[in-house]
Amino acid sequence: AQTVTQSQPEMSVQEAETVTLSCTYDTSESDYYLFWYKQPPSRQMILVIRQEAYKQQNATENRFSVNFQKAAKSFSLKISDSQLGDAAMYFCAYRSYNNNDMRFGAGTRLTVKP
Amino acid sequence: GAGVSQSPRYKVTKRGQDVALRCDPISGHVSLYWYRQALGQGPEFLTYFNYEAQQDKSGLPNDRFSAERPEGSISTLTIQRTEQRDSAMYRCASSLVPSGAREKLFFGSGTQLSVL
């Protein structure tokens, strides 16, 4: 079974600075998708960014980008120019190409300091 | 509806009681998923449906948990003889088309279940 590990329970960043959240996963599959979700205090689940494993190019969405290292099974999220509204729990998730369950990591709580 | 709707938002029950949690997916969405999220943890997959057919229930923790989606739209997750360890946020998600890991999941706000 696939597992997703987020080794940083908490992270802190100064407003306008850059922060990187780590995620590693374990799989024997070659085709899959990786996601970062944001969960603010409202406990909504908001998709931040998505990466297809077959794509070598790292996904980017405005201030959010990923560093996808397939051989190392690493999928880190970089937030540039951090804003107060970025403060939230961030979950890394893995989804197999062949089935539909999505596996989540335990999350990283990000604090943004003004 | 505009988004995935779950009810009730909060449910407090006594140990041993049965509870039914409702999910109303986005209109037209074929796939519906149930997740459970303990405090400080990531969501844990429970089960999912394509239309009215339950495709995978491997994540249901035991036989006290069941789910149905009889008409391929609204789904109900039922927990019988609740126990304190069942306390968690129960979250529903839907996607437009079945299978395909690329499909975006839309999550509801969840039902916070507290078993006393």
Residues of A in contact with B59 (CB under 8 A): 101
pLDDT at A30: 87
Average pLDDT, chain B: 92
- For residue range A81-92, list pLDDT tens digits in order: 999 999 999 999
- How large is the average pLDDT for residues B79-105? 86
Q: How far is CA B94 from CA A22, A63, A111, B83, in A?
A: 27, 27, 29, 27
- For residue range A22-31, list pLDDT tens digits in order: 999 999 888 8
Bond into B8 cis (ω within 30): yes
pLDDT at A15: 97
Report DSSP letters for A22-80, one per residue: --EEE-S-SSEEEEEEEE-TT---EEEEEEETT--SPPEETTEEEEEETTTTEEEEEE-
Q: Are B60 and B46 in contact (CB under 8 A)?
A: yes
- Distance from the B58 Cα atom to the nearest Cα atom in chain A, whole angstroms: 10
Residues of B in contact with A6 (CB under 8 A): 42
Q: Which tokens go with B70?
A: 């009889």
Neighbours of A108 (CB within 10 A): 22
Residue B109 phi/psi, 5-degree rounding, is: -80, -15
Interface contact A101, partner B, CB < 8 A: yes
Split at pLDDT 50, 70, 90, the class of B16 is: very high
pLDDT at B103: 72
Residues of B in contact with A45 (CB under 8 A): 43, 91, 93, 105, 107
CA-to-CA distance for A82 and B61, rounded, in angstroms?
39
pLDDT at B40: 81
Nearest CB among A97, A101, A104 relative to B42 is that of A104
- For residue range B64-76, list pLDDT tens digits in order: 999 999 999 999 9
- How large is the average pLDDT for residues A10-30? 95
More confident residue, A41 or B85: B85
- How large is the average pLDDT for residues A94-109? 85
- Tell me the one-letter amino acid at A2: Q
